[in-house]
Amino acid sequence: MAIIELTLVEFLQGLFSFIIVIAAALTGILIALRYFRTKIWTFLTIGLSWIGFVSGWIPDSINFVIIFFGQQLPLTIYLIIAIGFYPPVVFLWLIGITKLLNIKKRKEYLILFLIIYTILEIIFFIFLIIDKTGLVGEFIGIFIVDFKLYGIIIILFSLVTIIISGLKFSYEAFSSVEPKVKLKGSFLLTAFISVTIGVLLDLIITAISGTVGSVLYTLLPVMIVITRLIIAMSSIAFYFGYILPKGIENLFLKKIEK
């Protein structure tokens, strides 16, 4: 079984996708486990959906592991994980975040989003069955998929929904006069702002990954490391903001008091 050789750029793309997924998974699991102690189900929905938030990087992280055994995910499986997971993940996120935000007419909004994401998911699988490359996406590299219009719509709509609702929740906490809540809000704002920056930079990386020989291409290794570390670090900031471990609380609030 031959090992597939990787370029430096491909190795970094795979490695740091793996790091992003591990960071998000640990963060999500730690948050979700709080449910079993508190019986507050928002810990469960927010924790699980945070793991799903990095669905776009999960196939690359899987490929990074199995590629050393001469294997690679089939395109269909890759697209189902990278795109098809987003509608149920975002709806799970909305169940939790709308509760935390105390949204009026919450049930009506959830029903509306359920209808929208169900339609998006059905169309996604129809497109996948009809033409798995022409309408959703196709491989242009081991860790690069050229997502077509419909795939991009689902990804962007999902990420924008999570980021905007997350920023709103973060800002409300940051605006609090209570120091602990304000501190949590600052961590949450850091998490969602860094995710936004990271996702935008990652889109740029994907766009220039195929332009071998360009000036920007020579900068790709540095860009990949910085961009994906930003996304991975956002998971740590999110955990601090949502859970706020006692040690972190004491450390930062004592500094503020001084």
Q: What is the pLDDT of residue 206?
A: 73
pLDDT-based confidence at residue 133 (cuts at 50, 70, 90): low
Q: What is the topology classification, in CATH, of domain 8-252?
A: Rhopdopsin 7-helix transmembrane proteins (1.20.1070)
176 touches 182 (CB < 8 A): yes
**46 or 144, which is more confident:** 46
Q: Would you kindly state where each structural domain of the chain is located, as residue ranges?
A: 8-252
Cα separation, 258 vs 200, in Å, equals: 37
- 7 phi-psi bin (left φ>0, alpha ψ -120 to 50, beta other): beta
Proportion of the chain above pLDDT 70, given as a percent: 91
Q: What is the pLDDT of residue 9?
A: 82
Torsion of CA 97, 101, 104, 105, to 10 degrees: 0
Q: What is the pLDDT of residue 96?
A: 95
3-state secondary structure of 147: strand
Dihedral sign from CA coordinates of 230, 237, 55, 72 = positive
Paired tokens of 44? 């469960």
Vertex 195 angle, CA 63 and 121, to 5°: 60
Q: Is pLDDT at 68 greater than 60 in this prediction?
A: yes
Q: How many residues comprise the chain? A: 258
